[in-house]
Structures are given as C-alpha cells and as structure tokens.
Amino acid sequence: MPLRAEVGTFLRTAWGRAYPRVIGMSREKSWILFDVLLPLLQVSAYVFIYRAIGAPREFTGFVVLGGAMTAYWMNILWSMASQLYWEKETGNLELYLIAPTSRMAILLGMALGGIAATTLRAVGVLLLGTLLFRVPLAPTSVPALVGVFLLTLIALYGLGMLLASLFLLWGREAWHLANLLQEPVFLLSGFYFPVRALGFFVALGASLVPITLGLDAMRQLLYPRMMEGLKFLPVGVELGALAGLGVAFLVLAHRALRFFEDLARREGRLTLRGQ
C-alpha cells in the first residue's frame, strides 16, 4: 500500500475511533453536570481542610488544579487501560484485529476522543473551583504552562496505550488493576499537595506516572514563590522527563501491541493465561 494511502487509513481509523467519544458528550447532557459537580465536591473537602488549618491561599490553587487533572487519570484507567479488555469481553476485539489498519491508530483514536471528552470535565472543575474559591492564578509563562500541559497529556496517554495492551494480556485481573491504580496514584502523584512532601525518593518513583511531573511543573509556573521550597525538580528537567516518558511509553505500547497480536496468531488467545 502506498505511503499516502497508509497515512490516510491511519488518520481515518483514529478519527473513527475518536468519533463515538466526541459525539457521546452531547448524547446524555446530564452526565456533563455530574462529571463536573461530583469531582468538585472532593475538591471542596480539601479546600476547606486547608482553610481550616490556615494554609496559604496558594494551596487552594494546588487542590483545584489537582482536582481538574484527576479527570485525565480516571479516563486513562477506565477508558484507555481497560478498554481493550472490555472490547474482548463484548466480542468487538476480533474486529479490531482483522481490520486492515494499524492497532496504534485505534489506540490513538481512543486517546484523542478521551482527551476531548475529559477536557470538558477538567475545564469545568477548574473554572468553577477558581470562581467559587477565588483561586489566585498568575502564570509566569503561559506558553510554558501550555507546553507542560500538552507534554503531560502525551506522556499520560502514551502510558494509557501501554496499559491497554498490558491489561488485555493479564486478562481478568484488569478490573482489579484499574482499582488498585486509582486511589494510590491520587496520593503518590500529589494531586492535592506538592509531591515533594512525600520525600524525594517516593516522588521519584511516583514520577513513572507522568501526571506527577506535570502537576509539579504547572504549580511551579503558577505559584513560583510558594513552590520555591516545595518543588520536586526544576521545570526544565521535568519537561525533559515528560518528553522522554512520552516517547518511551509510545514505543513500549507499540511493542506490547505487536506481542499480543503475535500471541493471538500463534496460540489463538489474547491473554497470558488463556482467559
């Protein structure tokens, strides 16, 4: 197949997989309300705790930003990592495997659709939280802030692509793994406080989840004075690490996809335990 035709097929596949997620946002409008208001309740709890102990106002900003970013991590776990396993359970995965297109295009479409749908929830939490709690926002560099955010999403959804393949290989444990990675990551990645509070080496280990570095870098750009003694690493180092993680996760995701395709052809199964 000519390169131009391959690229066209790749792009059409990605759009075809993203389309249901993008359009689905308008199918049930009540979900938008719940997706914004319910996470805001958790954010409010942490805000009132910080206010009760007399913490600086910037800590309210830490919480609101972390609360907005939780939407992306939840999307990674339940709409990316677990998706291929659920497709297998519903009988759709075979269609993906026999389709004359790239499996990476399918995962890319899942990621793009997930980003579009999740950004609506994240922006809603961020705007409402900022207005309700009067969060101070004074970014030192808007382009740098946008760059950190985009690199975080690339690395994060690269991790989601990798986990989608691994969850499929591990079979029925996928559901338990998704639950296992939910609340602990909220703690270890510092969604509601600077991750440096956990200690340097714990924060270093938590940096395997890109949102750890992304949150720390965005907080440094929004609240440089407050983060001076609370930052984990300089912003430049965290940007480089996010770029490296993004490339590494995408390469590993591609290899994992090739592995389970080869497993399916050789042994007629898609999991390591024949489930």
Q: pTM for the whole thing?
A: 0.88
Per-residue pLDDT reduced to its tens digit, 172-198: 666 777 778 888 899 999 999 999 999
Does 36 fall in a domain? yes
Residue 220 has pLDDT above 80, yes or no: yes
For the CA atoms of 51, 140, 193, 163, the dihedral, rounded to the nearest 10 degrees, stands at: 140
Give the domain range for residue 55: 3-267
Give the count of domains, the chain. Answer: 1
Give residue 273's pLDDT.
52
Residue 272 has pLDDT above 70, yes or no: no
Does 274 fall in a domain? no
Closest CA to 115 of 38, 218, 22, 239: 22
Residues 6+ apart with CB under 8 A from 264: 97, 270
Does 273 fall in a domain? no
Give residue 243's pLDDT.
95
Give residue 116's pLDDT.
86
Residue 2 has pLDDT above 80, yes or no: no
